[in-house]
Structure 1
Amino acid sequence: MSLKPKSWKRVHAVRDAQVKLAIGAAAVAMRNEATLVNNAERLKKLRDNAFDAGHCQNGASLHAQLELAQRLIRADGEISTALVRARQHLAQVERQRTAAYIDRETTSKLLDRAIAQADETAERKAARLPLRRKNTKEAEE
């Protein structure tokens, strides 16, 4: 491999940054899903209470209660759809996070091999060089 040590560090830093970005994206996706689940539970409780029409005294209040119940049912469908999309997005982000981890580990292994090979090459070159002889004048002194 013809990479220089600074390039090795740069490549490894890029892979680390990709992993950190993937972790952050996964955390955001998890929070979004948790928020939607919480909203769906709150909406379900509100919808269950909306079908209790015992406190409606006249037709207008019954009509308002009916309209509220219909809106809650529509909102429940919309939040269910959003939750499905959020779970799909979370799965996609998790796959990207896993791929980033795999890329980082592969890069680390390849860079370790490249460093070892470069060290070995440097040692072989150093071994081939003749030893420096001291000048005879320096030896006599």
Structure 2
Amino acid sequence: MREFRIAVLPGDGIGPEVMNEALKVLRILKDKDYTFQFHADMFLWNSEYYLQHGRMMPENGLDILKNYDAILFGAIGDPRVPDDISVWELIMPIRKRFCQYVNLRPVKKLKGIPEQFIHQERPINFVIVRENAEGEYGVMSRKRTR
């Protein structure tokens, strides 16, 4: 059985609530699947952390995260902290360090979980692809390729 270490960064606003629900879903899947285990560590690196410490994460934050198999990242942003700080001091360093060029969001029906759709005879199986090098993130891509 494979065991995964997950770093959980709940973030701000609704982020902690969403991450709590995401962890509940992971626990349910683990209990139904039996092929994996996971251990989740919570890191409260968010806007409140910034207001207390003057930075979005500790200096060695990326070194801490590299020891995990996955990072579960919630919503980030708080009116008290300019967006460019949360983006460039937390989101971008994580994406750059761990080469997160593409954001993949697979959607498919899992065995044993009922679906609530009209056309149940047609299976759900698609992937949402978002490039992390466009728009606001384009600067990161250009910096990396120089």
Q: TM-score, normalised by structure 2?
A: 0.24
Structure with more of its chain in strand, by fraction: 2
Larger RCO (CA within 8 A; separation ≥ 6): 1
Structure with more of its chain in helix, by fraction: 1
Q: TM-score, normalised by structure 1?
A: 0.25
Rg bigger for which structure?
1
